[in-house]
Amino acid sequence: MLMARRRWVFRSTAILTLAAVALCFFVAWRRDVTTIQSHLDSASGIVAELQAQTQAFGLLPAELPQPGKGGFRYYASDADRYYAAQTREPTIVGASVPIQLVLLRNGRVVIIHDQGRVSAKWLPESEYESLWTDQESRIEEFERKRKAQPIQLP
C-alpha cells in the first residue's frame, strides 16, 4: 500500500511537472505569435498610406508616413525608391528595429514594394540580412549602369 501511494505521488508529480512545462512553452509560443501579429498590425496603417500615395503619384513618398509609429528604423533612400520603381523584383523599402522573441526566431517587420504594391512582412533576422545584402548589391549595380549611360537631352 505504501509503495502504491509513493508511485501515485511520483506519477502525479511527474504529470504535473510535464503539464506545467508544456503550458510554459505554449504561453511563450503564443506570446511570440501575438508579438509578431501586433507589429504587423501596427505597420498596416503605414502600408495603407504608402500604397495610397504610390497609386496617386506613381512613386513612393520621400518620407515614411506616421514616422513615430511601427518602430521603423529605416526607410528607403532616393536611390532605393528609384530602384524599387524601376525593377520588377520585390524591394525592401522599410525595416523595423529587430524584435526579440522567446521561442521563435528573432526578426523584424519589413515594408516591401513589388511592382507598385506595398505590403508588410515578417522576416527572421538571418533571412532579412541575406535579402538586404543581396538588394544592396543589386542597387549598386543598377546605379553603376544608370550613371554609365550618357545623358539624354530633349
Each residue's pLDDT, cut to its tens digit, for the chain (154 residues) gives 788 888 898 999 999 999 999 999 999 999 999 999 999 998 998 999 999 998 888 888 888 887 667 678 888 888 888 899 888 999 999 999 999 999 999 999 999 999 889 999 999 999 999 999 999 999 999 999 988 888 877 7
Extract the C-alpha cell encoding 104.
521563435
**52, part of any domain:** yes
pLDDT at residue 68, as a whole number: 67
Q: Torsions phi, psi of 120, nearest 5? A: -110, 145
Residue 141 lies in a domain: yes
Judge whether 81 lies within some domain: yes
Q: Note the pLDDT of residue 67.
A: 67
**Residue 65 belongs to a domain:** yes
Given a contact cutoff of 8 angstroms between Cβ atoms, the answer to whether 110 and 40 are in contact is no
> Would you say residue 154 lies in a domain?
no
What is the rounded CA–CA span in Å between residue 33 and residue 19?
Answer: 21
As for how many domains the chain has, the answer is 1
Opening angle at CA 8, ends 7 and 13, nearest 5? 100
Rounded CA separation 147/44 (Å): 35
In a domain, 97, yes or no: yes
Q: Which domain range does residue 140 map to?
A: 2-148
Asked, for residue 34, whether it belongs to a domain, the answer is: yes
Contact 92, 112 (CB under 8 A): yes
